[in-house]
Amino acid sequence: MYRKDYILRMLEMLMEMIAAIMGYIKKGELKQASVALEYTYQTLLKEDASFFQAIPVDELTNKLIQEHNYTNSHLQILSELFYAEAEIQFATGNKEKCLELYKKSVLLFDFIENTSKSYSIDGQSKKSLILERINQIEQNR
């Protein structure tokens, strides 16, 4: 029971932090958004963003699960952080970087969906939003 409560608290904290990051982005306060994002990586995953950025898309889930013992809960957190980071990169005009981050986020959402015993409407809608953004960026290349 303790583990389940801890995970729920982590996910609630994540959603609050993501909301704050998105608020900074909407206000154009991208530096504050980046600082909040890095803090969130450190607080919830105990690694900085560059650690996760360095992992190639095709190795992402295997490396995190096999080498670092990540759970679906960790991957869910990471998928949300990749999404937030992609939004920051999109706002700065760095289309290539945001495309990579969106793809990593979708990959993790897919993995969680395929390995989880529960269905998430929020995850599906977020995934659809990301796929639309990916299509938009790829069409404008």
Each residue's pLDDT, cut to its tens digit, for the chain (141 residues) gives 446 677 778 788 888 999 999 999 999 999 999 999 999 999 989 999 999 999 999 999 999 999 989 988 889 899 999 999 999 999 999 999 999 999 999 999 999 988 877 656 677 788 888 999 999 999 987
For the chain, the structural domain boundaries read 2-139
- DSSP element (H, E) containing 50: helix 49-53
What pLDDT is stored for residue 26 in this prediction?
95
Whole-prediction pTM value? 0.90
What pLDDT is stored for residue 120 in this prediction?
65
Report how far residue 35's alpha carbon sits from residue 69's, in angstroms, rounded to the nearest whole number: 27
Report how far residue 56's alpha carbon sits from residue 28's, in angstroms, rounded to the nearest whole number: 29
What pLDDT is stored for residue 18 in this prediction?
92
What pLDDT is stored for residue 132 in this prediction?
93
Report how far residue 130's alpha carbon sits from residue 35's, in angstroms, rounded to the nearest whole number: 23
What crossing angle do the helices spanning 72-92 and 121-139 adopt, rounded to 10°? 40
For residue 103, which of 55, 62, 48 has the smallest C-alpha distance? 55
Count of CB atoms situated within 10 Å of the CB of 38: 15
Report how far residue 95's alpha carbon sits from residue 113's, in angstroms, rounded to the nearest whole number: 26
Report how far residue 7's alpha carbon sits from residue 10's, in angstroms, rounded to the nearest whole number: 5
What crossing angle do the helices spanning 72-92 and 2-27 adopt, rounded to 10°? 0
What pLDDT is stored for residue 1 in this prediction?
45
DSSP state of 59: G
